[in-house]
Amino acid sequence: MWVETIRHTWRQANKRPVRTGLILLQVALGVWAVTTILGALFLLQGRLDDRQYTDVLFCRVIEPLYDASGQRAGYRTLPVFDGSEVDALLGGSDHLSSVAIANYALYDVAKVAENWWQVNGVEMVSAGYGEIAGLDMLQGSFFTTEDVVQGNRVVLISDQAAAILFPDGEALGREITFYHSQNRDFGDTFTVVGIFRTPDAMKRISYNQVHYLIPYISYRTAVADQGKGSGSSAGEGAGMGATSGVGAGVGTTFITLSYRLYAKAKPGKTAEAMADMDLILRQLHGEDVPIEIIRGTGGPADDIAGEMTGPLLILGALVLTALVVGSIGIFTTMLISVVERTREMALRRALGATRGAVVRQVVMEAMLLSLAGGLVGVVAAAFTGTGIMQALSSNWGAAGSFTGGLPPPAALSALALAILVGGLFGLYPAWQAAAIPPAEGIREGII
């Protein structure tokens, strides 16, 4: 039946090429829009899948807090991690690929050449932090395990911080001296060895934006050497703001233990990694220590998905409108065709064709027109839609170079949707054709 329907549809199209061409163009435009948007979504989904963080584990030690009546009133996080946990976990578990500790370094002022800056987002971390955070290095490289062990005075800075501190563009090899604002008699000088992209991804492992990373042992050594005081960090913009003046020491002790420990599980081994971490950390810190291990659940991917909601609703409405417009063309074409072919339909009924057979014929003709227009739209999207797909995906936070072309699922989904909608819009003309009384249709040639 399909073969005969294809032949019949081809004959009808040849009789009225202009009308058929316009209908195919309408459908093609709708399918082109659908294919392009779906292509962008599939590309974006691939990037989001790559950026899911369910293999990242966050560990802390918490102490419950109680009010005067004995009711639990919250908790506080305790600084207990000294760095020995990194080697213990990597050596004691086959299910972990990276482990790192991190804590805020209590620096809030920096000096570059003769310029003073107020800074924030300074963290002391261990070598595995870069892999766990998914850090994108633009220049230089992340510091090594040797840098951490030897306490080398090196620092990584964000591209935003580099642009402000070093406007000449030459940051690598330059020095930054960090201070606490209330004790500028002592400063710790670090050499810039790398520049990283200001990381939205790091939001998943740090509550604040991070602009400076230093080896945690370097920080502890600096604190021990200088005997500095402590305070809270502050800053603005890319972790900095202009400031001046010299403060007085406050005489309190810097915190050099870490509140936070991170690990990255090997693919498919998250549950085993969590069990290993709990066992090993209790061996190190005691069975009664209230250790809490949390599995990462999306981080910035959730942020991107939230940002996409509005644009997707608008684009979805536009795409649906484009496809409906094309399908209305099929509807009117099939309705006119039924009117013009009244005698043919009536004759078929008189020769024994059932109403169902007539309905199937007309619906299949509508679906064939949709398929033909859809193929044109998909081919057009393959040649012209790549740039649009990349632009849309980049704007949604999945910037990158897409070399794979049009995703096949997008093309197949668009074709299937076009055929389905075309068939639905062909139902009413089909019912009209099937409802023609054979005798009346043959005699009058009208519906």
More confident residue, 406 or 300: 406
Q: What is the pLDDT of residue 273?
A: 93
Q: Which residues contact 308 (CB under 8 A, 6 or more apart)?
A: 44, 396
Q: What is the tens place of the pLDDT at every residue in 34-84?
A: 888 777 777 666 555 545 546 888 898 888 888 888 888 777 888 888 888
Q: What is the pLDDT of residue 432?
A: 76
More confident residue, 49 or 429: 429
Residue 126 has which token pair?
A: 């261990």
Closest CA to 179 of 114, 106, 269, 256: 106
More confident residue, 50 or 339: 339
Q: What is the pLDDT of residue 25?
A: 84
Q: What is the pLDDT of residue 193?
A: 94
Segment (H or E) for 103: strand 96-104
On whether the pTM is more than 0.75, the answer is: no
Q: Give dist(CA 29, CA 43) in Å, integer.
A: 21
Nearest 5 degrees, angle CA 69-CA 75-CA 78?
A: 135
Closest CA to 206 of 292, 101, 62, 88: 101
Q: What is the pLDDT of residue 398?
A: 46
Amino acid at residue number 351:
L
Closest CA to 22 of 356, 373, 392: 373
Q: What is the pLDDT of residue 321?
A: 78
Count of residues in the chain: 447
What's the rounded mean pLDDT across residues 4-32?
75
Residue 419 has which token pair?
A: 């055929």
Q: What is the tens place of the pLDDT at every residue in 201-225?
A: 454 455 467 889 998 876 656 555 5
Asked if pLDDT for residue 147 goes beyond 90, the answer is no
β-strand pairing of 122-125 with 96-104: antiparallel
β-strand pairing of 154-158 with 183-196: parallel
Asked if pLDDT for residue 116 goes beyond 60, the answer is yes
User: Any idea which of 170-179, 218-227, 239-248 has the lowest mean pLDDT?
Assistant: 239-248
Helix/strand number for the chain, H first, E second = 15, 14
Residue 434 pLDDT grade (very low, low, confident, very high; cuts 50, 70, 90)? confident
Show me where the domains of the chain are located: 2-51+303-444, 107-254
Q: What is the pLDDT of residue 439?
A: 65
Q: What is the tens place of the pLDDT at every residue in 318-332?
A: 777 777 776 777 778
